[in-house]
Amino acid sequence: MKSTLAIALIFIASTAAANEVDTRRILPLTEHQRDHVLTEMRALLSGTQNILDALSKEDMTAVAREARSLGIGMAHKGEDHLKAVLPKEFIQMGMSVHKAFDQIATDAESMKDTQHTVRQLSKAMQTCNACHAGYQIRLKEHSTGRETQSSHHQHQHQH
Ligand code: HEC
């Protein structure tokens, strides 16, 4: 009985969501900026998976290495052009995730406690969710590539 109710509620919730428009705050980015953000996002996801994989093997050296690669060092890779266009709170949430991964790396090295790392990872990922709940990317109107029409005709057949 209870599970039927739960399924009904999930159905209602997802139906409602399907009829809604995406009300998350819009980040108007150029194609290049969008690619930069999404590339970093995919690195965060695969890095997180690498951490879980290392955790499952209780390989804390690998946990530390993978977590470090998602730390503050990751954020400094050519992001100045993005800092100027992204909202301050967005940058801060991003930074707090990078800092959390640095802390995970440091603790993995010194404490070698898998449960502690799992808790830290879960907490860090709440920030992934918080940010995703609040923002969406849309391409800036002037970055559709229409203005560079002539470049579409440059199909060079070289060999
Ligand atoms: C500061 C904000 C922020 C944080 C923190 C954040 N993300 Fe994202 N992420 C975004 C935005 C914005 C998008 C694009 C969403 C959209 O346009 O619908 C995105 C998209 C993604 C995507 C889709 C990538 C693609 O190629 O389409 C993945 C995967 C992702 N994030 C993973 C993560 C993971 C994992 C974390 C945490 C470890 C994380 N993100 C933390 C803002 C954030």
Confidence label for 2 from pLDDT (cuts 50, 70 and 90): low
Phi, psi of 35 (to 5 degrees): -60, -40
Examine residue 107 and state whether it is found in any structural domain, yes or no. yes
Examine residue 10 and state whether it is found in any structural domain, yes or no. no
What per-residue confidence (pLDDT) applies to 14?
60
Burial of 29 (0-12, 13-18, 19+ CB in 10 A): buried
CATH code of the domain containing 29: 1.20.120.10
Locate the ligand 1 atom nearest the alpha carbon of residue 22 and give its number.
18
pLDDT at 45 over 90: yes
Locate the ligand 1 atom nearest the alpha carbon of residue 97 and give its number.
5
What per-residue confidence (pLDDT) applies to 148?
43
Say if residues 98 and 70 touch (Cβ distance below 8 Å): yes
Which residue has the CA at smallest separation from atom 24 of ligand 1? 38
Examine residue 15 and state whether it is found in any structural domain, yes or no. no
Q: Which of 51, 126, 132 to mutate to test the pocket of ligand 1 (most atoms within 8 A of CB)?
A: 132
Q: For 150, which DSSP code?
A: G
Type of residue at 35: D
Phi, psi of 144 (to 5 degrees): -80, -10
Task: Spell out which residues line ligand 1, taking CB within 6 angstroms.
Answer: 27, 38, 41-42, 44-45, 48, 90, 93-94, 97, 125, 127-128, 131-132, 135-137
What per-residue confidence (pLDDT) applies to 153?
42
How close is the Cα of 73 to the center of ligand 1, in Å? 18
Examine residue 8 and state whether it is found in any structural domain, yes or no. no
pLDDT digits (tens, 9 = 90+) for 75-95: 877 677 888 899 999 999 999
- Number of domain units in the chain: 1
Q: For 53, which DSSP code?
A: H
Q: What is the mean pLDDT of residues 21-33?
A: 96
User: In which domain, by residue range, is 82 found?
Assistant: 24-141
